[in-house]
Chain A
Amino acid sequence: MTDQPSLIVEDLVVEFAKSRSLADLATGTYPPTVRAVDGVSLSVRPGETLGLVGESGSGKSTIGKAILGLNHPKRGSIRFEGKTFAERDAHAQAAFRRRVQMVFQDPYSSLNPRLKIGSAIAEVLRFHAIVPETEVQAEVLRLLSLVGLPSAMAERRPRELSGGQRQRAGLARALAVRPSFLVLDEPVAALDVSIQAQVLNLLVDLRRELGLTMLFVAHELGVVRHMSDRLAVMYLGQIMETGPSDAVFRDPRHPYTRALLSAVPKMTTVKRLRAAVTQGEIPSALNIPSGCRFRTRCPMAQPICETVPPDVTVGEAHHARCHFAATPTNNSESGRKR
């Protein structure tokens, strides 16, 4: 059982279509679709944390939502504990909802502003019949203390809580159904550093105490590094590089990973004189470059990159979608200096 991945995503494609305009109806055409996720495969083993990192528009949150069934993939399969959505009946679906939970970036918009924190958590407990009615209140308090909130918070509403407290409350609500798998979508992006550190520590503790498996979606590399066993780096809907966290950070093989790592400001005593590491902007998802989708910004791009890039294996469980990934460069050290 332990080697069997909890979650297997294969060749996932998620598209978003604009609604048809009057002009489209008149001419019988359809507006272009945006392919937010384009052929992503990944797996997460029990107890493991997979970090999904990338810039805005890379499709990382879309994958998180697809796993929970919050959008409709055009192609590909998502198996949780061996079963896809279609293979689960209503009963199994309810069980799935208890096993997999999502924590959002901004709990202010995911918690009902009119419900007291205690009621918001109790609602989940009652709906899924997690504990008998007589034990609901005690369970609410247990969950609050699990995430480090004083019991008085049960009587507060979301607006009375600080950002860090709200994120803890969102976490308590997700943990109420005793899930085994958490999808965390930018859980600390809205928090100040000192509060971010508190929430990250809490997540590390909970993962150990409850044996949680996690998909950790974030844009900040330091945070992802801190949390993840393995890493998948996304760009324009595809995974560019994936591998054990340490290997990817120590020896990044895709030029995009290297660019990301070099672009992160470092603690230094030397003032910045250099030019930016990458030029240009992320291309529109409506107009994805042929071949390697990073080639328009890549410092190493060659004519061959206009064709489909290969999946190059560069180490144990370490892959990069780049023709030149197998050739180590001195550049691969650039991400290490901090």
Chain B
Amino acid sequence: MTEPLLSIEDLTVGFKTPRGTVLANKHLSLTVAAGETLGIVGESGSGKSVLCRAILRLLPSPPAEISAKSLSFGGRDLMKLKPGEMRSVRGQDIAMVFQNPMTSLNPVWPIGDQVSEGLRIHRGLSQAASRKAAIDILKRVGIPSAEVRVDDYPYQWSGGMMQRAVIAMAMTGEPKLLLADEPTTALDVTIQDQILSLLMELRRETGMAIILVSHDMSVISETCDRVAVMYAGSIVELGSSAEVLSAPLHPYTHGLLRSIPHLDAPSGRLATIGGQPPDLSRLDPGCPFASRCPVASDECRALPIALTTLPGGRATACHFPERVALLDRKAAS
């Protein structure tokens, strides 16, 4: 196997608060191969966005406290880079698309200038050449009559068009890895559909890898090769998205999948996960999901748990992954 593009080993991110340190990411290890699409799924507060920001070193410290055995991208350890070197990684090697396009664009600057800024900085293009390149890239992401609309301000564009512009900005540096943090959550379903298709096309054309963060399992299943399921700051399950989403090996993944109302399912009661996610500043020593887990036993509450790779390459942070299959049998009977 070749060297992965991104390799994260034992990443921990804490935030100092008056109530103690909140562990937003806890001992995360993860790799992304070149050209791969990795999905990260989890609920609010599970640490998905913090992980993306930690990869790009966008978290100000303090309050963030970041430690990692290694955070290596293309053979370079991002943790050891100087701020100036890190700046050249951002946008050129790794680019990011955020959830809300309205807040990622500067409202008082024409969109064309914002797209071409990256071209001028990263590729050293002249004003005229960067404007022309910006029009081309806006066309590529599907902005109609881009040569006219390049001078528009963000407020003149719809949410879907703005997200296209943000994607265009991310593509200007020809990144090897794109971090897309809930890129379609703020959009309507037909526009989400367009943006997902666009991202997949761009990936096929450029061969870039994508980390796609989403709370929507179906989005992940349509777009990602592998998926990491996050809960309370930890990765609780990792594997090929086809396997994880059809036969989960962690009770949390199982519960999440069953609580989604489906288009073709009859109405009735939905399966729920009882209780609420734990307070990240006071995690118990055992499994963080134990208090909500339908198959937890005393060991789960007492013994610490780490993501463990099973034969076959899938990984789960569950003491008793074999119990997850029993959940389906229980539900069926």
Q: How distant is the Cα of A41 from the Cα of B294 in the complex, in angstroms?
A: 46
Q: Interface residue count for A (Cβ, 8 Å)?
A: 50
How far apart sit A221 and B260, CA to CA, in the bound complex (Å)? 11
- Residues of A within 8 Å of B267, CB to CB, are 204, 225-227
Check if A194 sits within 8 Å of B223, measured CB to CB: no
Task: State the CA gap A252–B216 with chains docked (Å).
Answer: 24
A192 within 8 A of B: yes
Q: Do the beta carbons of B261 and A336 come within 8 Å of each other?
A: no
Q: Is the CB of B189 within 8 A of A221?
A: yes
Are B221 and A335 interface neighbours, CB within 8 A? no
Binary CB contact string for chain B from 72 to 90 against chain A (1 if under 8 A, 0 otherwise): 0000000000000000000
Asked whether any CB of chain A lies closer than 8 Å to the CB of B215, the reply is yes
Shortest B125–chain A CB gap in Å is: 30
Given A194-B273, A265-B222, A336-B264: A272 and B196 interface contact (C-beta under 8 Å): yes
Q: How far is the CA of A204 from the CA of B272 in the complex (A)?
A: 14
Interface residues of B (CB under 8 A from A): 43-44, 158, 160-161, 188-194, 196-198, 200, 215-219, 221-223, 225, 242, 245-246, 255-257, 259-265, 267-273, 276
Which residue of the partner chain, among A200, A260, A261, A276, contacts B194 with CB atoms under 8 Å?
Answer: A276
Residue of A262, A273, A281, A338 near B262 (CB, 8 A) is A338
Asked if A194 and B272 sit within 8 Å, CB to CB, the answer is: yes
Set of chain A residues within 8 Å of B158, measured between Cβ atoms? 281-282
Whether A162 lies near B191 (C-beta < 8 A) is no
A266 touches B222 (CB 8 A): yes
A267 interface neighbour in B215, B218, B255, Cβ under 8 Å: B218
CB of A305 within 8 Å of the partner chain: no
B263 touches A264 (CB 8 A): yes
A-B contact count (CB 8 A): 138
Which one of B218, B221, B263 lies within 8 Å of A269 (CB-CB)? B221
| Contact (Cβ within 8 A) A282 B188 | yes
* Bound CA–CA A337/B256 (angstroms): 20
The answer to whether A265 and B196 have CB atoms under 8 Å apart is: yes
Q: Hey, which chain B residues are within 8 Å of A162, CB to CB?
A: 276
Which of chain A's residues 207-248 have a Cβ closer than 8 Å to chain B?
Answer: 219-223, 225-227
The one of A226, A278, A336 that contacts B270, using a Cβ cutoff of 8 Å = A226
Give chain B residues whose Cβ lies under 8 Å from the Cβ of A55: 188-191
Residues of B within 8 A of A200 (CB): 261, 270
CA distance A292 to B268 in the complex (A): 36
Contact A225 B276 (CB under 8 A): no
